Amino acid sequence: MVESYFLDWGNLLLRWVHVITAIAWVGSSFYFVFLDSSLTPPQDPDLKKQGVSGELWAVHGGGFYHPVKFAVRPPQLPKHLHWFFWESYSTWLSGFALFTLTYLWQAGTYLVDKSLVNWLPGQAVAVALGFLVVFWLLYDTVCRVFGQRKNGDAIVGALVLGLVCVAAYLACHWFAGRAAFLLVGAMLATSMSANVFFWIIPGQKTVVASIRAGQAVDPIHGIRGKQRSVHNTYFTLPVLFAMLSNHYSFTYNQPHNWLVLIGMMFAGAAIRQFFVMRHGYLLGRHAHPWPYAVVGVAVILAMIWVLRPAPTPATGAEAAQGPVVTLAQVRPIIQSRCTACHGPTVQMKNLRFDSDAAIESNAANIYQQAVVSQVMPMNNATGITPAERATLGAWFKSRQAAPSPDAGGSK
């Protein structure tokens, strides 16, 4: 009980920090992509002489801003130069700590679904961490080999999409659905932060060192940094969906959940493409990117339609015509399938089902979690059967028609 309490506090505080730092990182990523896409050639001859390649005028917070971009190098470096990397590092560190506390620390409960692969906890942890490392290595190799070729962006995009599809398929066939979605999101987020750590920041430091030493600047560092930064902005919406999906079991608790994950990530990337290209469209640089938004929204609407729940049996007076299931009939099911985590020893989420009064007061919650969404027991660790879920459902509907005759008693 005490351990669970402190774990909940740790989870809450880490989640709070993670959300704050993620907002800062995603916000800066979106802003700089917008800025880069919205720059126009400078009008001031003096700016042109300094080597400014683009400028932007903006108004915000009661003042006017005039950022400019030097394509390769400025005439001289200022004394104070602001770097953007702690947003990325803090987001990854807090996210990995949260992933460790929730999923790796309790791998047997949260990572392993014995109906898929009966991993030992250590095996599950090792394979999960392998996803983060192997995807980064493969993605980085693709960028190195194909990134600078003709049509390199298209080739890299297609290959990375293929890698994500394979990873989603394997994760959803090896791990519990909720963990699989989160793992694929963590995999992409790890690559995003690795882009910053291994490519963007080192490249920028090399450029700064060259300028301070009075040496020529190799433009390849800026080209590579821009490429990885653009990749990161396309990863953001897919990652955010994966992180949020664990609260919505209808997404991951599906026979073909890997297709749901791929579809929603594809939709997020398409919608992000719309917003990235829209900035250039407003400046007349290319056609309106509305097809990307239409495709993204169409995929989401298709998912909503495909995942819609089947019609439920009638309740109320019509339900009363069916067999009445009493609390006495469901009590043994709850005792054998639920009280291991919701009993006198352990009370996950501060819920106990070891008395009739507690069962009755949590009837709607039990029905929603064990029958409708079927996310409980967690990864079906206690082996509840479809027949037992049906009995719980019939009991709840019987209660809707009329209270169970033995309700309110004590175990």
**CA–CA separation, 67 and 57 (whole Å):** 7
**CA–CA separation, 132 and 121 (whole Å):** 17
- Work out the pLDDT band at 411, boundaries 50, 70, 90: very low
**CA–CA separation, 234 and 151 (whole Å):** 18
pLDDT digits (tens, 9 = 90+) for 117-165: 999 999 999 999 999 999 999 999 999 999 888 888 999 999 999 999 9
DSSP 292-309: HHHHHHHHHHHHHHHTPP
Q: What is the mean pLDDT of residues 278-301?
A: 91
pLDDT at residue 355 in the model? 83
pTM to 2 decimals? 0.83
Mean pLDDT of the chain: 88
Distances in whole angstroms, Cα of residue 144 to Cα of each of 187, 195, 199, 279: 19, 12, 11, 28
Task: Give residue limits of the domains in the chain.
Answer: 91-306, 317-401
**CA–CA separation, 121 and 6 (whole Å):** 22
**CA–CA separation, 218 and 72 (whole Å):** 8
**CA–CA separation, 274 and 285 (whole Å):** 14
pLDDT digits (tens, 9 = 90+) for 77-87: 888 898 999 99
Answer for the pair 172, 261: CB distance below 8 angstroms, yes or no: yes
pLDDT digits (tens, 9 = 90+) for 332-350: 888 888 877 787 776 676 7
**CA–CA separation, 363 and 288 (whole Å):** 52
pLDDT at residue 410 in the model? 45
pLDDT digits (tens, 9 = 90+) for 373-396: 777 887 777 778 888 888 888 888
pLDDT digits (tens, 9 = 90+) for 181-236: 999 999 999 999 999 999 999 999 999 999 988 899 998 998 999 999 999 999 99
pLDDT digits (tens, 9 = 90+) for 3-60: 677 878 888 899 999 999 999 999 999 999 999 999 999 999 999 999 999 999 999 9
